[in-house]
DNA sequence: TCGAATTATCACTATATAATAATATAACAC
DNA sequence: GTGTTATATTATTATATAGTGATAATTCGA
């Protein structure tokens, strides 16, 4: 693994390495959701949620569409779902 | 995924989310290595390497043994290897 | 016990990330 | 247009992480 690849992989991991962002991705795994519903589901403040959503959009993980006053987010990079499942498996099988 | 799980997963990801740490794990995938050899292989300063190694030991990813003046590090939590392979696959298949 | 080799730690600066509160913007109904 | 709902942005503070240079600690052999 050369430096460039390592930096890229580290970037991807940093994008996911936050509790709220992990929960957002899980919420969006099977459906798109508007910001307000995500805020409610997470119990996290609106500004923070908006910042995290925007951050993940910048990184290409999410995308969004506006419908009236609401903005619906969805997973743009589907392979993060598979990646997260690997990570959950890892965390389950870590101890033994 | 509840908050506790999300926080734990985020912790694991943060532990891996650094280029030098990723390279160290890759180096140690098949063998243990002493600090000096890791420093040489990475081309990263000794102090930084030592700090990263210690950090990953704290998190349970690595362990070490001393032999004379040298300290040999190895992967303690083998499942991170599988996890990293998932991540590499993800990064390869991301674009399409 | 002295010195060399190896690794760890410390104090510090720099930088990045997170969280907060307040405010701004966008879309729409009226 | 005005008011309302929904979302985004900004400025600020707090906190965490990274990197640096110097120094300390450990081990061993002479």
**Does the pLDDT value for residue A95 go beyond 80?**
no
pLDDT score, position B94: 54
Q: What is the mean pLDDT of residues B42-67?
A: 97
| Fold adopted by A3-92 | Arc Repressor Mutant, subunit A (1.10.10)
What pLDDT, in 10s, does the model give residues A42-67?
999 999 999 999 999 999 999 999 99
Cβ–Cβ contacts within 10 Å for residue B58, how many? 10
Torsion of the alpha carbons at A42, A44, A46 and A47, rounded to the nearest 10:
-130
Contact A6 B23 (CB under 8 A): yes
Selected residue with higher pLDDT from A68 and A89: A68
In chain A, what are the domain boundaries?
A: 3-92
Q: Report the chain A residue with the minimal C-alpha distance to residue B59.
A: A94
Contact B16 A13 (CB under 8 A): yes
**Does the pLDDT value for residue A88 go beyond 90?**
no
Q: Is the CB of B70 under 7 A from strand C?
A: yes
pLDDT score, position A94: 54
Interface probe for A, chosen from B1, B4, B24, B59 (most Cβ of A below 10 Å), is: B1
């Amino acid at each position: 693994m050369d430096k460039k690849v390592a930096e890229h992989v580290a970037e991807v991991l940093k994008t996911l390495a936050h509790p709220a962002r992990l929960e957002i991705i899980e919420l969006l795994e099977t459906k798109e959701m508007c910001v307000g519903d995500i805020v409610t589901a997470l119990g996290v403040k609106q500004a923070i949620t908006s910042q995290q959503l925007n951050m993940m959009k910048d990184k290409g993980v999410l995308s969004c569409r506006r419908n009236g006053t609401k903005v619906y987010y969805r997973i743009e990079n589907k392979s993060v779902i598979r990646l997260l499942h690997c990570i959950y498996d890892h965390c389950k099988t870590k101890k033994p």
